[in-house]
Chain A
Amino acid sequence: MIETVVIGVSAGGLKALTAILPSLPADFGLSLVILQHVRSGSGRFLCEHFNRICAIAVKDATDKAYLEQGTAYIAPAGYHLLVEDETTLALSTEPPVCFARPSIDVLFETAAEVFEDRVAGVILTGANSDGAQGLAAIKAAGGLAIVQDPKTAESPTMPRAAIKATKTDHILTLQEIAFFLCELSEAKGDLKSCTNPNGANNVV
């Protein structure tokens, strides 16, 4: 049973997230944690932007925020975002990891540690390789690994690095990812009741 979805995205993220988040229904049954690399100080804009165009609630991920269903938490700029326990997020000002703070690897690794096989990790467009190790950690803990099809990504480097780092479960377009998340929510996180989002591009 998947309970939470963590999404890592960098260059081209605003467009990519805009193709996914507004498709999710208000009664979305999972919690979502979104890490978009942003310049310090520009994080609040993302939150306001997505709150205007989304049915799900979109919140700033403050320290010790409760993880709730139907809510997307956006990582603030200048902090690492970590999954503290099954109901709580946490922040840290430890040094950047591979030049990134927030680091997708840090978020994904702590999500894997806490949720094991109950987390889905999603890597979208980006021009670096952050998240590759984190996605591998999610996969190693029994979770689900989803990557945007590099052919459809504004910046294919990050999806490619993730695909190289682990055995990906699904390689999908943004629309397919949105559809899959909706289906996963309707199935209350039960992967067995989801249709396999196959397609020709789902070849690892």
Chain B
Amino acid sequence: MNEKDLKALELDLLLESIQRRYGYDFRHYAQASLKRRVASMVNLLSLEHISEIIPQILRDDSVCNDFLRVMSITVTEMFRDPDFYALIRTKVVPYLKTYPALKIWHAGCATGEEVYSMAVILKEEGLYQRTQIYATDFNNESLDVAKAGIYPLDRMRLFMDNHNRSGTTSSLTEYYTADDDSARMSDALRENITFANHNLVTDGVFGEMNLILCRNVLIYFDKMLQNRVLNLFRDSLSHRGFLCLGSKESLEFSPVAQEFEAVSRHERIFQKRGLPKASSLAGGRGGD
């Protein structure tokens, strides 16, 4: 067996160990990023081979937490892709305004920057009071950061700049308090946000949503898992509910695509089609 095959075997065994011991299932994560993260885990533990992680992680919860941390590290920003938020205001908000009560699910919210961005938009558009936001992630440490809503002050300049480009009517300074080196999101933004643990890989539907945001999470999954999660979103959306993906993510690899129409193809805002499906007689071809 050559080195490459051996490494692949070690990786399979590690992922199987984690799944059977802790229930976290990374077996359908996208390979390239997964391999890099596992390599950094090998470094972190000062080991030489992937398989050496296995005895440690099986016996020691804290090693599993290290692994989850390594698997969760991403860097996002408030109002990432300002054009996306501008389109939410012009294309989605008018529709949402016709409902007396709203449920929004921010799936894979990581450290929460984009949850607070959406909360600011809802405040500005006068929708916040009627909205319940569910912000979920599989990693409790990330959720704790999201819940705290405290970000380095030196990031706020970028966040404010993004916010200004999102078609805003107010200043972001109204929504946080700053001290010497950090900014804390205001309680008024937090009021209607429920942070909760939910694993997109293994957990199911928990409510009927008017809007689901899942941005730059599917990029970490292989096509099979992407399809599974997109089905979960379809099943979690109300009639004519909206689905927002990251601006470089795609529905097109999933048969679910034909059940959505694009509100903005470029910013990946989709709306569940209203008509009853033309059944699956056509054999699942066609669509967008």
Interface residues of A (CB under 8 A from B): 41, 60-64, 76, 78-80, 82-85, 90-96, 101, 106, 109-110, 113-114
* A111 to chain B: closest residue by CB: B32
- Are A94 and B32 in contact (CB-based, < 8 A)? no
- Are B35 and A95 in contact (CB-based, < 8 A)? no
- Are A92 and B220 in contact (CB-based, < 8 A)? yes
**In B78-122, which residues have CB < 8 Å from any A CB?**
80-83
Contacts of A64 in B (CB 8 A): 30, 223, 226, 250, 253
Query: What band does the interface of chain B fall in when counting residues whose beta carbon is under 8 Å from A?
Result: 20 to 34
- Are A92 and B33 in contact (CB-based, < 8 A)? yes
- Are A94 and B73 in contact (CB-based, < 8 A)? yes
- Measured in the bound complex, the distance between the Cα atoms of B18 and A43 in whole Å is 38
Shortest distance between the CB of A74 and any CB in chain B (Å): 11
Tell whether A94 pairs with B33 under 8 Å between CB atoms, given A63-B218, A64-B226, A78-B80: yes
- Are A76 and B248 in contact (CB-based, < 8 A)? yes
* A110 to chain B: closest residue by CB: B32
- Are B30 and A90 in contact (CB-based, < 8 A)? yes
Shortest distance between the CB of B30 and any CB in chain A (Å): 5
Tell whether A93 pairs with B250 under 8 Å between CB atoms, given A64-B223, A82-B33: no
Contacts of B81 in A (CB 8 A): 41
Mask, B247-271, CB within 8 Å of A = 1, is 0111001000000000000000000
Contact of A95 among B30, B73, B83, B220 (CB under 8 A): B73
**In B201-256, which residues have CB < 8 Å from any A CB?**
216, 218-220, 223, 226, 246, 248-250, 253
Shortest distance between the CB of B257 and any CB in chain A (Å): 13
- Are B33 and A90 in contact (CB-based, < 8 A)? yes
Contacts of A79 in B (CB 8 A): 216, 219, 248
Shortest distance between the CB of B1 and any CB in chain A (Å): 16
- Are B31 and A84 in contact (CB-based, < 8 A)? yes
Tell whether A83 pairs with B32 under 8 Å between CB atoms, given A78-B80, A91-B248, A96-B75: yes
B170 sits at the interface (CB 8 A): no
Contacts of B32 in A (CB 8 A): 82-85, 90, 92, 110, 113-114
Q: Apart from A92-B30, A101-B75, what are 6 other A-B pairs with CB-CB below 8 Å?
A: A63-B246, A76-B248, A91-B248, A92-B33, A92-B220, A96-B75
Q: Which of A62, A63, A78 has the most CB of B within 10 A?
A: A63
Interface residues of B (CB under 8 A from A): 30-33, 35-37, 73-76, 80-83, 216, 218-220, 223, 226, 246, 248-250, 253
- Measured in the bound complex, the distance between the Cα atoms of B2 and A188 in whole Å is 27
- Are B248 and A85 in contact (CB-based, < 8 A)? no
Contacts of B218 in A (CB 8 A): 63
Contacts of A110 in B (CB 8 A): 32, 36
Tell whether A63 pairs with B250 under 8 Å between CB atoms, given A83-B32, A90-B33, A91-B219: yes
Contact of B249 among A61, A63, A114 (CB under 8 A): A63
* B75 to chain A: closest residue by CB: A95
Contacts of B36 in A (CB 8 A): 82, 94, 106, 109-110
Contacts of A92 in B (CB 8 A): 30, 32-33, 74, 219-220
- Are A93 and B249 in contact (CB-based, < 8 A)? no
A-B contact pairs, 5 of them (CB 8 A): A41-B82, A63-B249, A64-B253, A79-B248, A85-B32
- Measured in the bound complex, the distance between the Cα atoms of B33 and A64 in whole Å is 12
- Measured in the bound complex, the distance between the Cα atoms of B35 and A94 in whole Å is 13
- Are A63 and B248 in contact (CB-based, < 8 A)? yes
- Measured in the bound complex, the distance between the Cα atoms of B37 and A80 in whole Å is 13
- Are A94 and B219 in contact (CB-based, < 8 A)? no
Shortest distance between the CB of B50 and any CB in chain A (Å): 14
Contacts of A101 in B (CB 8 A): 75
Shortest distance between the CB of A90 and any CB in chain B (Å): 5
Contacts of B250 in A (CB 8 A): 62-64
- Measured in the bound complex, the distance between the Cα atoms of B82 and A93 in whole Å is 17
- Measured in the bound complex, the distance between the Cα atoms of B22 and A199 in whole Å is 60
Shortest distance between the CB of A202 and any CB in chain B (Å): 32
Contacts of A85 in B (CB 8 A): 31-32
Shortest distance between the CB of B129 and any CB in chain A (Å): 32
- Measured in the bound complex, the distance between the Cα atoms of B75 and A78 in whole Å is 10
Q: Which of B73, B219, B226 has the most CB of A within 10 A?
A: B219
Contacts of B226 in A (CB 8 A): 64
